[in-house]
Amino acid sequence: MLTGGGDCPGLNAVIRAVVRRGIRHFDDEILGVRDGWAGLIENRLDPLTIDDLRGMLPRGGTVLGTSRTNPFRADGGVEAVFDTVERGGIDAVVAIGGEGTLSCALEFHRKGLPVVGVPKTIDNDIGVTERTFGFDTAVTIATEAIDRLHTTAESHDRIMVVEVMGRHVGHIATHAGIAGGATRTLIPEHPFDIAEVCDSLNRRHGKGRWASIVVVAEGAKPKPGTMEIPEETRDEYGHIRLGGIANLVAEQIERRTGIETRVTVLGHVQRGGTPTPFDRVLSTRYGVAATDAVHDGAFGSMVALQSDRIVTVPLEEAVKDLKTVDDQLWDVARQFFA
Ligand code: F6P
């Protein structure tokens, strides 16, 4: 079992569930792979026991460690993974991760590795599952932060710009924006026009003391030609290194409206600490189902949540398209914009 990509609240709960189901129900021997795919390349594996995972259900992060290493981009990486699998007598790999990790899992499945995926990411952008674990925790943290920002914003009659995670999609921003009563939410799916955003804030503040909260997903983009943004840098998976859009937006808002504006970037706070009860339950269900999928020989599949049931879906389907914010939900969010 490995955990890849960014860490996420609920990872330890999945690991615990795989170990518990595997050892108790199937008499499996479970190996924990250190640091994602890197550990399979470098043959860094440790046996996991039920005792090793005691007390880990509510703990954030991952006891296995994680990395964004992509064996398909590392010299000899793929061969090294197969070598480790053969030497270790490994019958199956449970890969817990987001889009990058699951895409690797699919590639390995195509090359004959028996693999089952578990959808993890606070971004909630994996298709064919209604939820990835970690998302509920991130939304809870972001909403609490927005609630806190409301009172300080009101005291000073300021605009608060809050940046939340979400590189390609605005699920966290949309949910936390609705839950926290945002004045405006900017998400990657709907490029914004900064002039229009400022006009609406001006109109609102012109009516009296109306502090505003603007929630910005880190991947939010201005409409082409409306605002300058710096060049992108990318990681090993080709992911854009994000962060900073809130500062650019806040700068423009303050300059164009003349209203005092402050920025809060929530960053990795959204990924740290204990998972919510919802995420603990979801992670546990995923872990049990992934172990069962291994024993059913359902390789090349991913466990998923559909209509509150855990099902298995082809990995191919899961990584085909990123799940974007549903139009109906976005329409609800928009009803509350300034
Ligand atoms: O894994 C998802 C995520 O939290 C994104 O929301 C964010 O853009 C990215 O990871 C941050 O990655 P890193 O921890 O490598 O800075």
| Chain segment 20-38, per-residue pLDDT in tens | 999 999 999 999 999 999 9
CA–centroid distance, residue 281 to ligand 1 (Å): 23
Q: Could you read off the pLDDT of 247-271 as tens digits, one per residue?
A: 999 999 999 999 999 999 999 999 9
Q: How many CB atoms lie within 10 A of CB 156?
A: 12
Q: How far apart are CA 40 and CA 47, in angstroms?
A: 14
Dmax over CA atoms of the chain, in Å, equals 71
Q: Is 47 helix (H, G, I), strand (E, B) or coil?
A: strand
The length of the chain is: 338
Q: What is residue 206's predicted lDDT score, i.e. its pLDDT? A: 84
Task: Give just the sign of the alpha carbon dihedral 125, 130, 134, 135.
Answer: positive
- Report whether residue 167 contacts ligand 1, using a CB cutoff of 6 Å: yes
| Residue nearest ligand 1's atom 11 by CA | 6
Cβ of residue 166 lying under 6 Å from some atom of ligand 1? yes
Q: Tell whether ligand 1 has an atom less than 6 A from the beta carbon of residue 242.
A: yes
Please check the confidence at residue 115 and state whether its pLDDT lies above 70: yes
Q: Which atom of ligand 1 is nearest to the CA of 123?
A: 6
What's the angle, vertex CA 70, arms to CA 127 and CA 37, rounded to 5? 90
pLDDT value at 240 more than 70:
no
Residues marked as catalytic:
123
pLDDT at 208: 80
Fold matches, 2-134+275-320 and 137-271: yes
- Whether 170 lines ligand 1, by a CB cut-off of 6 Å, is no
Query: What is the per-residue pLDDT across 271-309, written as a single tens digit (0 to 9) for each?
Result: 999 999 999 999 999 999 999 999 999 999 999 999 999
Residue 129 has pLDDT above 70, yes or no: yes
The answer, yes or no, to whether residue 1 has pLDDT greater than 80, is: yes
| Residue 98 beta carbon below 6 angstroms from any ligand 1 atom | yes
User: 155, 185 in Cβ contact below 8 A?
Assistant: no
Burial 44-82 (b: 16+ CB within 10 A, else e): ebeebeeeebeebbebbbbbbbbbbbbbeebeebbebbe
Looking at 3.40.50.450, 3.40.50.2300, 3.50.50.60, 3.60.21.10, the CATH number of the domain 2-134+275-320 comes to 3.40.50.450
β-strand partners of 227: none
Distance between CA atoms of residues 125 and 105, nearest Å:
17
Give the atom of ligand 1 at the shortest distance from the alpha carbon of 68. 15
Pick the closest to residue 302 from 327, 326, 320, 277 (CA basis).
Answer: 320
Two tokens, residue 223: 């409409």
What are phi and psi for residue 189, nearest 5 degrees?
-65, -25
List pLDDT tens digits, range 46-82: 999 999 999 999 999 999 999 999 999 999 999 999 9
User: Tens digit of pLDDT for each residue in 307-336?
Assistant: 999 999 999 999 999 999 999 999 999 999
How confident is the model at residue 238, as a pLDDT? 65
Question: In whole numbers, what is the pLDDT of the chain averaged over residues?
Answer: 95
- For residue 178 the two structure tokens come to 């609705």
User: Among 101, 126, 167, 268, which is best to mutate for testing ligand 1, by the most ligand atoms less than 8 A from CB?
Assistant: 167
Among protein residues, the one whose CA lies closest to atom 3 of ligand 1: 6
Residue in the block written with tokens 């854009």 = 240
pTM above 0.85, yes or no: yes
Where are the domains positioned within the chain?
A: 2-134+275-320, 137-271
Residue 205 C-alpha to ligand 1 middle, in angstroms? 34
> Which CATH code is given to the segment(s) 137-271?
3.40.50.460
Find the 163 Cα to ligand 1 centroid distance in Å.
13
Across 208-225, average pLDDT = 93
Tell me how far the alpha carbon of residue 75 lies from the centroid of ligand 1, in angstroms: 25
Residue nearest to atom 13 of ligand 1 (CA): 6
Query: Residue 271: CB within 6 Å of ligand 1?
Result: yes
The DSSP result for 148-193, as a single string, is: HHHHHHHHHT-EEEEEE--SS--HHHHHHHHHHT-SEEE-TTS-B-
Question: String of b and e for 304-333 (b: at least 16 CB within 10 Å)?
Answer: bbeeeebebbbbeebbeeebbbeeeebeeb
